[in-house]
Structure 1
């Protein structure tokens, strides 16, 4: 076993106005680490606004030999990961302490309590997803964004709106899935072979589960193989797609194809979900999803 990694600083980023227990958990982690790591500076760093964690994580990473901890759900951790990646620092390590409602990444990839993992200091590396969105005549190209867990188009972002309203348990989650069909419409894209195809859902998954109970793939839970799973729901009768979605919430969808890169073009404006946050992309946009192997050093 390698010698434990010791950091100059541990920056714990959290939302002080969280409706959940993020402030209490952040303080609890600080209180656990300070006596256990007397030679490490442990900082509590609250956010001021949406997106602030990106800047805070970038600044913390640039200080050198830093661990940046997000006390949050998947969306907050996404900001910290993107801030760390934007810093260009090669020695930064990230971690997430689950707080709030959506904690798929922590639940699927976590191996032990975070405080214990930090004290043990055994760092490992995981892949990241990267979405690159080309510009159009009306909308300039966006900077590539990384995802630690998944990127989804179609049914996925619509499901996310209902699932993140606080449903508890697989049965209530299944009812949330059913409700989305009242407002759901399929979408059409042009794939890299030039063919137009219609889908109900298209998910690029770096982990095997999302939305608390939905099992997307039987792949290894540790996202470090340089590939991601592509979970496709081709357009079909609504009763069939409903049964497929319910199967994901109970038995799982089984093995899915893996890719290191996937390209397509939008034909109409589309919402998409990236690590729990819903965004939009314009029509006529070229999109590339890449796996960035071993891109992120983590603890937990």
Structure 2
């Protein structure tokens, strides 16, 4: 007999422009019908970062909760960080994602069945996560990413998308503008200054729905893939992106850790979240094997 979760918490953003609220309520109704004895709570967020706070509080309070994020990759990133920063001995939190965003890279990588069925039957799996350390505004920061970490084109486009009203401006136009005005990112690696149009660390095969980063990436192999586009002219970069979206990349290599030093203040994207890190800061990316237990 399957033991019920101590709580199923469904976190959603009531102000989301997507279907976060509708899908969260729909999941609650279906789960209540399927699991009438299960304690289920629908929890709205109130501000940016609130999902992470809520996930942390639930992780500390309940011994074996399932925390479902009705969101895209960015909202799920908050929940994952809340769980991983708050986890403690004897507690076994489980993460779940109800895809209500744009790309939903993590969901499409792992999930093969109906969400209600997966939760009811407790189809769970441990996956690796990426860990990232740097400084921002002079303060050390440590964050986790469930799918990818990137500098260059990825966060520049993500930052513009986050700042825009997507119902008025198409994603394609925004990305095209970023490409047009993109400047390469300068970083220091092993004492050498290198220029990158894009540098991505990932444990998924696809990013932003169509970009095929790797043909061999797995979220539980104890490694991450590095996909690097060194500085090139715009026609060459566009050809590389087209190849990534059609044929796909083999991937530069696999690693368990990687370090570089920023030269200028730099935008970095962790899943769907974009942040600015300081100039002259040491950035360290590592893989944390089997760190997150999640519904698949």
Q: If the length of structure 1 is used for normalisation, what is the TM-score?
A: 0.90
2: CA distance, partners of 1:268 / 1:86: 28
Q: Counterpart in 1 of 2:51?
A: 53
1:65 Cα shift?
1.1
| Residues 1:237 and 2:233 are matched in the alignment | yes
Structure 1, residues 96-134: CA drift from partner, whole Å, max 9, x if none?
A: 000032311112221211111001112110000010115
Structure 1, residues 51-87: CA drift from partner, whole Å, max 9, x if none?
A: 0001110111122110000000000000000001111
1: CA distance, partners of 2:149 / 2:122: 30
Report the number of matched residues. 289
Q: Counterpart in 1 of 2:295?
A: 299
1:152 Cα shift?
0.5
Q: How do residues 22-33 of structure 1 correspond to structure 2 at under 5 angstroms?
A: 22-33=20-31
1:285 pairs with one of 271, 274, 281:
281
- The structure-2 alpha-carbon separation of the partners of 1:76 and 1:194, relative to structure 1 and needing over 3 Å to count, comes to same
Unaligned residue ranges in structure 2 (runs of 5+): none
Q: Counterpart in 2 of 1:276?
A: 272
1:28 Cα shift?
0.8
Q: How do residues 1-300 of structure 1 correspond to structure 2 at under 5 angstroms?
A: 4=2, 6-62=4-60, 63-89=62-88, 90-134=91-135, 139-142=138-141, 144-161=142-159, 177-191=175-189, 193-220=190-217, 222-300=218-296
2: CA distance, partners of 1:44 / 1:131: 31
Does the CA contact (< 8 Å) of 2:151 and 2:268 recur in 1? yes
Unaligned residue ranges in structure 1 (runs of 5+): none
1: CA distance, partners of 2:286 / 2:13: 30
Does the CA contact (< 8 Å) of 1:132 and 1:289 recur in 2? yes
- The structure-2 alpha-carbon separation of the partners of 1:134 and 1:163, relative to structure 1 and needing over 3 Å to count, comes to closer
Q: If the length of structure 2 is used for normalisation, what is the TM-score?
A: 0.92
